[in-house]
Structure formats: structure tokens, C-alpha cells
């Protein structure tokens, strides 16, 4: 895995890390933290440079935040009306959520919670959260989020050897857990929808 990732990095530079950061926000809600820890491990072993890697992933995450925010503002409400019931979210629930949502706190802390960090910028767009404040929180939150996990990999590898396969397994377990939770919510919403039609 080390040599394969290093080959990609040598071919495509830090653009690939930018893309990783971007899809960490816009893509499927998976725990990218295991990958960030692994990048920290590589940086410790001089496989890549720490600062450029951190800046590349952080910039990708910020771009992902802004993209999701723009999508939320433009097409968020129509999509929620059509598909929200499958996630257990109808229009009244969304409005209640937005009214009682501590946006600033949630946006920052949400970076550290898979699933929440993907939905936060989208809901911020729907709620028309102030753009300048959103940008500020996105920049600070993105770079701190990436830095924390890269430092974990960088520092821990000084004391103990972590095989990359373990990080992959941890990431897969978190992903499966999240998908099961999403499936359970979808099934409950389906049943509720079926009962309401009877």
C-alpha cells in the first residue's frame, strides 16, 4: 500500500490529496481520518512532505465545504422534499432542525463526525447561513481537522509501528456502521410512509 500511494503521489503530486480532501466532504460519508493518519505516517517516514500534504488536503476540504454549501442553497429544498423521507427528514423536521441548530458549533465540531461533516455544509446552504462566516469556519475547521489526524499518525509512528492495513480495517468498520445506521433509518421511514398511506 505504501509504495502504491507513493507512486500515485509521485505521478500526480499533491493534486490527489486535494481530491481526497474534497471528497471527504462532498462524497460518501466515510471516516477519512484513517487516511489522514496514514498520510501522517508517510510524512514521518519521509515518504511525503507534511506541510504541502496538509495544505493540499485542507484546501480540498474547504473547496468541498463551499461546493456543498452552494448545492444546499441552490437545490437543497427540492431534494429534501423529494428524498428527505427516506432519511427520516420531512420539511417540518428540517425547519425545526434549522431553527434549533447551533450552526457555528455544529459546523466546527461536525468535521470530526463522519456523516455530520457531509450534511452540515448542505444544511447551512439550505438555511442560508451567512457566507463569510461559513467560509471562516470552513477554513479554520478544515485545516484543524486534517492537522489533528495527520499529527496523530506522525507522532504515534515515532513510538509504535502501525501497519496500514489496521487503519483500513478501522475505516471500514466505521463505514459499515454508518451505512447500517442509514439503512435502519431508511427502513423505518419506509414503514412509516407505508402505514400513513393505509
Mean pLDDT per block of 10 residues along the chain (198 residues) reads 57 80 81 80 81 94 94 76 59 61 79 82 87 94 94 79 56 60 65 60
The half-sphere exposure of 195 on its side-chain side, counting CA atoms within 13 A, is 6
Scan for cell 441548530, then name that residue. Answer: 101
Residue of 121, 115, 149 lying closest to 135 (CA atoms): 121
pLDDT number for residue 67: 94
pLDDT number for residue 64: 94
The C-alpha atoms of residue 34 and residue 40 are separated, in whole angstroms, by 10
Q: What is the dihedral of CA 9, 12, 14, 15, to 10 degrees?
A: -140
pLDDT number for residue 62: 96
pLDDT number for residue 24: 85
Number of independent structural domains in the chain: 1
Give whole-number Cα distances, 164 to 2, 9, 38, 168, 189, in Å.
8, 17, 7, 7, 38
pLDDT number for residue 1: 47
Could you list the residue range(s) of the whole structural domain that residue 70 is in?
2-197
The C-alpha atoms of residue 29 and residue 182 are separated, in whole angstroms, by 10
Predicted TM-score (pTM) of this structure? 0.71
Residue of 63, 50, 58, 56 lying closest to 13 (CA atoms): 56
**What SS3 class is residue 85?**
helix
Amino acid at each position: 500500500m505504501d509504495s502504491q500511494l507513493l507512486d500515485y503521489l509521485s505521478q500526480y503530486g499533491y493534486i490527489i490529496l486535494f481530491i481526497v480532501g474534497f471528497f471527504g466532504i462532498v462524497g460518501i460519508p466515510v471516516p477519512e481520518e484513517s487516511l489522514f493518519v496514514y498520510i501522517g505516517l508517510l510524512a514521518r517516514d519521509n515518504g511525503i512532505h507534511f506541510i504541502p500534504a496538509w495544505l493540499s488536503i485542507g484546501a480540498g476540504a474547504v473547496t468541498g465545504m463551499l461546493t456543498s454549501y452552494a448545492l444546499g442553497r441552490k437545490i437543497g429544498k427540492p431534494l429534501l422534499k423529494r428524498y428527505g423521507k427516506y432519511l427520516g427528514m420531512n420539511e417540518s423536521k428540517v425547519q425545526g432542525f434549522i431553527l434549533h441548530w447551533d450552526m457555528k458549533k455544529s459546523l466546527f465540531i461536525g468535521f470530526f463526525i463522519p456523516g455530520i461533516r457531509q450534511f452540515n455544509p448542505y444544511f447551512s446552504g439550505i438555511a442560508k447561513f451567512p457566507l463569510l462566516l461559513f467560509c471562516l469556519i470552513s477554513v479554520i475547521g478544515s485545516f484543524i481537522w486534517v492537522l489533528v489526524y495527520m499529527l496523530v499518525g506522525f507522532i504515534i509512528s515515532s513510538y509504535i509501528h502501525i501497519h496500514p492495513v489496521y487503519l483500513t480495517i478501522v475505516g471500514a468498520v466505521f463505514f459499515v456502521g454508518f451505512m447500517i445506521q442509514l439503512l435502519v433509518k431508511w427502513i423505518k421511514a419506509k414503514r412509516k410512509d407505508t402505514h400513513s398511506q393505509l
